[in-house]
Amino acid sequence: MNPPSRETYERVSPVLDLEGKPPPGLLVHAALETEDAMTVVNVWESRETAEFERTRLLPALESAGVDTQAGPPRSQELDPFHVWIRNN
């Protein structure tokens, strides 16, 4: 699957309704755009809670007319050895 465009993100976002119906285990969701690409970053409590791609993302992409035959968007698993989160 090609990297998502902002247009695709804006078509799929209302279907996913992450703010109204966040998936269990999703801690952070951010979408950002650079000059040549768009990136979506999701931070999950654990690998087990990241079933979101299969259960909600791919169906939402398909309903928005995105060809998902190549599978879900590229993802990268990170295993940080240190994390600090500011608590206001």
Residue 51 belongs to domain spanning: 1-88
List the CATH number of the domain containing 34: 3.30.70
Nearest one of 24, 28, 40, 25 to 72, comparing CA atoms: 40
Q: What pLDDT shows up at residue 1?
A: 58
Give pLDDT, residue 88.
Answer: 64
With contact defined as beta carbons under 8 Å apart, do 13 and 19 qualify?
Answer: no
The number of distinct structural domains making up the chain is: 1
Residue 56 confidence (pLDDT): 85
pLDDT by residue for the chain (88 residues), tens only, comes to 566 788 888 988 998 898 898 888 888 888 888 887 788 888 888 876 767 877 888 888 888 888 777 666 666 777 777 777 777 6
pLDDT on residue 72:
62
